[in-house]
Amino acid sequence: MSNSSVQSVDRAIAILEILAREGATRVTDLASELEVHKSTASRLLGALEQGGLVEQTGDRGRYRLGVGVVRLAGAATNQLDLARESGPVCRRLAEEIGETVNVAVPRDGDAVNVSQVRGPSAISGQSWVGARTPAHATSSGKVLMAFGALAVPAELRRFTPQTITDERRLGLEEIVRRGWATAVEELEPGLNAVAAPIRNVDGAVVAAVSASGPSYRLTPQRLPEVGERLAGGAREISRRLGYYG
């Protein structure tokens, strides 16, 4: 990113902060506080307005924060709530199961891990926080697809010989019926996982809690028991988010 682009971003952030402080401000006043030409302030406001972050008031030439800021704030609050409320439950699950426990949310067709707790057996290994994982090859992604939080990808890419590439074999209806999903060496050889759905206050599935570990330890035979344990933990997290259905 060029210096001019960085400067524009800095100025746009400053505009949002000024509007948050002042409520509504004229272009000339913004330009004066930013020490830029009025045309520069107008250009930045135009870009922010296009994104819904600012809007003009009834008083011509005055701007205030737009509804886009509320949308972003709501999304950030929801994610913070999820991380905060799931933390104690995930720590307990990691201790009980002895494997890494993650919480994943849907993002642009993938499952994205937003928190991770390592169990006593998981001394080392990959950090999945922030990682985008393909929905069809992960237990969390399958949960999010089964409950409608993610769409089934048009192309089911193969990652290992065990990856399911036929939508009919994903077993999404069965996942809904039993309340948890598995992935047996479908993303990486030697890695197994199981996940269960987390619901928000309205009952919509907004995330999945999963346990993952090496196949020699988190064996296919263990997955049903771990799945039921995760389903219980997911219900507890959902209650902490306000869902009592």
pLDDT (tens digit per residue) in 134-155? 999 999 999 999 999 999 999 9
> What 8-state DSSP symbol labels residue 137?
G
As a whole number, mean pLDDT of residues 67-95 equals: 76
Nearest by Cα to 97 from 234, 196, 213, 208: 213
Q: Kindly report the CA angle at 211 between 209 and 215, in degrees rounded to 5?
A: 150
Kindly list the distances between the CA atom of residue 24 and the CA atoms of 19, 31, 63, 68, 98, in Å, as whole numbers in the listed order.
6, 14, 5, 16, 54
Contact 136, 164 (CB under 8 A): yes
Assess if residue 74 is contained within a domain. Answer: no
Residue 15: the pLDDT is: 86
Q: Which one of 5-19, 27-41, 54-68, 171-185 scores highest in mean pLDDT? A: 171-185
Grouping H, G, I as helix, E, B as strand and the rest as coil, residue 114 is strand
Whether 20 and 100 share a structural domain: no
Picking from 135, 226, 138, the residue whose alpha carbon sits closest to that of residue 186 is 138
Within a domain: 75: no
| Least confident piece of the model among 12-16, 76-80, 82-86 | 76-80
Q: Reduced to 3 states, what is the DSSP secondary structure of residue 211?
A: strand
Confirm whether 70 is domain-assigned. Answer: no
Say if 72 falls within a structural domain. Answer: no
Q: Domain range for residue 123?
A: 82-240
Establish how many alpha carbons lie within 13 A of residue 178's alpha carbon, considering only the half-sphere containing its beta carbon. Answer: 19
**Least confident segment among 21-35, 90-104, 147-161, 176-190:** 21-35
pLDDT band at 124 (very low <50, low <70, confident <90, very high): very low
Q: How many domains, in total, are found in the chain? A: 2
Residue 12, CB-side half-sphere exposure with 13 Å CA sphere: 17
Ramachandran sector of residue 185 (left: φ over 0; alpha: ψ -120 to 50; beta: rest): left
Same domain? For 108 and 149 the reply is yes
Region 77-85 average pLDDT: 69
Structure tokens at 91: 């720590």
Model pLDDT, residue 122: 55
Q: Is 196 or 82 the better-scoring residue by pLDDT?
A: 196
Give the CATH number, domain containing residue 59: 1.10.10.10
Mean pLDDT on 186-210 = 95
Mean pLDDT comparison of 69-73, 124-128, 166-170, highest-scoring range: 166-170
SS3 162: coil
